[in-house]
Structure 1
């Protein structure tokens, strides 16, 4: 599959957006009183941690595909 420069840039920005948004959400969850019960993590924290880690992994893969697409597009002549 060959990605256009526009789609590659979009994927790169979408991956970066994940890395911008999800860590802030993680901090909000960490500070939420529902995340802890007597100093131990609750299922609320666990479920959100899994969600956040999954989103960051997907964001990383999306950004990587966008980066590779842009690198590949730079080697192709403009059409």
Structure 2
């Protein structure tokens, strides 16, 4: 299957965007002072674990989508040359 240039760049950009957004989210989750992510004793709550799992899943999916986009962009450049 071949992707066109704009679809390839979109997938690559989405992969990068996913990493930027979710890395920021995890950083903010770890520094949470509202009491949602950590209880009074400083232990992680269910909220923390669920959102960490969401972030890890998004990292994996963002990586997969970004790799597909990167490979497609690279293949299109090889075709052009």
Q: Which has the higher helix share?
A: 1
SS in 1 for 2:36: helix
Partner of 2:45: 42
Partner of 1:74: 77
The answer for unaligned runs of 5 or more in structure 1 is: none
Count residues in correspondence: 78
Write out the 4+ residue segments of structure 1 that deviate beyond 2 Å after TM superposition. Answer: none
SS in 2 for 1:76: helix
The answer for unaligned runs of 5 or more in structure 2 is: none
**TM-score of the superposition, structure 1-length normalised?**
0.90
Partner of 2:18: 18
How far apart, CA to CA, are the structure 2 residues paired with 1:60 and 1:77?
26
How far apart, CA to CA, are the structure 1 residues paired with 2:17 and 2:36?
26
1:16-68: CA deviation from partner (whole Å, max 9, x where unpaired): 00111111111222222211121211100000000000001100001100000
Q: Which has the higher strand share?
A: 1
How far apart, CA to CA, are the structure 2 residues paired with 1:49 and 1:34?
13
